[in-house]
Amino acid sequence: MAAMRTPAENAVAEAFRNEWGRVVATLIRVTGDWDLAEECAQEAFATALERWPGDGVPRSPGAWLTTTARNRAIDRLRRSTVGARKLAELAATSARLAPRDGDGNDDADGVAGEAPAVADDRLRLMFTCCHPALALEAQVALTLRTLAGLSTAEIARAFLVPEETMAKRLVRAKHKIRDAGIPYRVPPAHELEARTSAVLAVVYLLFNEGYSATSGDDVIRADLCAEAIRLGELLVGLLPDEPEALGLLALMMLHDARRSARTDAVGDVVPMDEQDRSLWNAEEIARGVDVLQRAVRLHDPGQYQLQAAIVACHATAIDAGATDWAEIARLYSILLQVLPTAIVELNRAVAVAMADGPTVGLTLLDSLETEGRLDGLSGYHLLAATRADLLRRLGRHEDAAVHYRSALELARTDAERRFFARRLAQAR
């Protein structure tokens, strides 16, 4: 059994989730060196693990970490032969970033409260990562690494590639930014369109990693959900007439509104039809629907708007029985024309099964697999879980158990494994 963490260790873990992107983005802005920024940020967190148990957790952990990481960067640059210019840039920000008491245990209000000059560092970082000179997968992977602090292994799992392959991809992306002199900034208006799709994809992947974590004890990482929504709001402010930015923000809000009901008191997964809808955030649902309506009024539907409309069908139903599954199946059919992926095919099959019955759904699932339209999902736990659930609803419990066992073996989080273990036991 793993040893329990101390309060200070918990504080460092929470600070990592909440502050990693801020610290790295600020250091990249003032040093221009991606590797140095990540290394000094890591050293700052290591220092926190050493000092916070004895000194206490600072009132503003993010500013403490930023100051500590900046000081490490200064030390590194002083020892280098090319650090003079970077030291001058760092000196220009020292007054704003320095702690009030001068020893790193208290923090300047400018950093803790994110003054306007600093507030968009993460947005600048995102647009830099999403420069069209980089391949789309490299853009997304680099942003998830530097902005969200996801490990190389986590990103590799999200892309279904070996960790070594992802590590090389990240190194190449950083070198290309350095060698091509890609500026660290939000681009001017005439360059925004070329990067918007990639930036939206990054924000959505960041939210998905928070809403359905690829690994770990918890199925949900609320910190990543909140960060993705915050970035989505920044994007809508930057691009108020971009329908897909609005669609993505609505999609994330509508999903996030149901977050509290997705797991029970001990962290176990609760299926949607069994969730306590009084725990859903009605105010956030209303905001999400309003944002979706703003997108629809622009008359330019895209994948995020369509997905948001699907989630709105769930979020606005008074109970599970009132869910308009026929409308959801129709929306998935339209989404397939915009986003013809195996995941969308699978989700449409689920909606059809809910609208027309498990026999129809199982027949459709068989047809999709025979036609190869679910290729690439052979190791996806929810494909096995979908088939298992349809078989369970048909009363074919022994067959269902086979597929629940597969879902259990493929599940990525402890909470999901516990859920499939319960389903397997019931099927037996």
Adjacent-strand bridge partners of 263: 269
Give residue 82's pLDDT: 54
| Distance (Å, whole) CA 105 – CA 44 | 13
Residue 270 pLDDT > 70: yes
pLDDT digits (tens, 9 = 90+) for 225-237: 887 898 899 889 8
Q: Say how many CA atoms lie within 13 Å of 8 toward its Cβ.
A: 14
Mean pLDDT of the chain: 84
Mean pLDDT confidence for 147-153: 79
Q: Specify which of 71-75, 257-261, 413-417 reaches the highest per-range mean pLDDT.
A: 257-261
| Distance (Å, whole) CA 15 – CA 261 | 25
User: What is the torsional sign of CA 183, 187, 192, 198?
Assistant: positive
Give residue 215's pLDDT: 54
Where does 243-357 have alpha helices with state H?
A: 243-256, 282-296, 303-315, 325-338, 342-356
Confidence of residue 122 (pLDDT cuts 50, 70, 90): confident
Residue 264 pLDDT > 50: yes
Mean pLDDT confidence for 46-69: 92
Q: Which residue has the higher pLDDT, 205 or 323?
A: 323
Residue 103 pLDDT > 70: no
Query: How many other C-beta atoms are found inside a 10 Å radius of the C-beta of residue 219?
Result: 21
Give residue 1's pLDDT: 38
Question: Do the beta carbons of residue 276 and residue 261 sit within 8 Å?
Answer: yes
pLDDT digits (tens, 9 = 90+) for 296-335: 999 999 999 999 999 999 999 999 999 999 999 999 999 9
Paired tokens of 414: 């402890």
Residue among 73, 76, 65, 188 nearest 127 (CA) = 188
Question: Do the beta carbons of residue 48 and residue 84 sit within 8 Å?
Answer: no
The pTM of the full predicted model, rounded to 2 decimals, is 0.73
